[in-house]
Structure 1
């Protein structure tokens, strides 16, 4: 949705005008405003309504985080297994 809106906004711009239009969107202040707006929306949608969804978000986020942390070790283990299989080792 946001990308569609962005493309519709820049559709009428010339190529020379595009950097001046995009530059304010990439500033630190703009990023802080986007994060703050997202947190406000999340709070209004889930926290104020006493929804159980934030608990699910934390659980699934923790599972994904732990998977990503363990992924390099798993890849090394699988590569070692493949190497051992190819060379007849244990």
Structure 2
């Protein structure tokens, strides 16, 4: 949704106008306001309505986070396994 809005904003711009349009969006203040607006929208949509969805979001978010934290160890393990296989190890 946000990407579609951004695309619609920039599709009529010329290439020289693009940096001046995007530059304010890269400021720290703009990012803070965007995050705050997103948190306010989330709070209004899920927290105030007493839905169970935030519990699911925490559970699935924790699963994804743990997967990404374990990924480097798994890759090292698979590389070691492949190396042992290539060199006649166990």
For each residue in 1:31-74, what CA deviation from the matched residue of structure 2 results, as whole angstroms up to 9, or x when unmatched? 00110000000000110011111111111111111111111111
In structure 1, distance between residues paired with 2:14 and 2:81? 55
In structure 1, distance between residues paired with 2:50 and 2:3? 31
Unpaired segments of 5 or more residues in structure 2? none
- Tell me the matched-pair count: 90
SS state of the match for residue 49, structure 1? coil
The structure where helix makes up a greater share of residues is 1
Displacement of 1:19: 1.2
Match of 2:78 in 1: 78
1:1-90 to structure 2, matched below 5 A, reads 1-90=1-90
Displacement of 1:87: 1.2
SS state of the match for residue 15, structure 1? coil
Unpaired segments of 5 or more residues in structure 1? none
SS state of the match for residue 6, structure 1? helix
In structure 2, distance between residues paired with 1:37 and 1:20? 23
Displacement of 1:29: 0.6
In structure 2, distance between residues paired with 1:33 and 1:57? 23
